[in-house]
Amino acid sequence: MIRSTIPRRKRDSTIALINVVFLMLIFFLIAGTVAPPLDPDLELVDTAGLDGREPPDALVLHKDGTLSYRGQPSDPKAYLDTRADEPARIVPDRDAPASRLVEVTGTLRRLGAPSVFLVTEQAIE
């Protein structure tokens, strides 16, 4: 006796893909709303009138391109001589030339600074 086999239709695999994409969408929608928004009545502190001070262990790049360390004129080599095996920190003036900043960071790295950090102002937007 010969049995006739009914050809089975192959199941479409795109349904599983659609399910995964849908679950990812739901996850990111929920994860994006985990942090509560700031209270609309909240007024943040205004620090515009405060005098900014550089950290005492940072090399300061002034807007005219000169460098100072702890209030005294300096250069990258003299700065690194006082800070053995510590990361270098640079506080650039807002109007300092970017090319000078790149030059100073490159010089610090060539002279052996393990890492160079750029100290900036953080703002909440």
Per-residue confidence in pLDDT tens, the chain, 125 aa: 667 777 777 766 788 889 999 999 999 888 777 666 666 766 665 656 555 555 668 888 888 989 988 888 988 898 888 877 788 889 888 888 889 999 999 999 998 888 898 887 765 55
Cβ contact 103:116 at 8 Å:
no
pLDDT at 22: 94
- Quick one: tokens of 67? 């460098």
Beta partners for 118?
90
pLDDT at 37: 65
- Quick one: tokens of 70? 């702890």
pLDDT at 51: 55
* pTM attached to this predicted model: 0.54
Residue 125's identity, in one-letter code, is E
pLDDT at 46: 63
- Could you give the C-alpha distances from 114 to 23, 40, 82, 88, 103, in angstroms and in order? 44, 44, 14, 8, 16
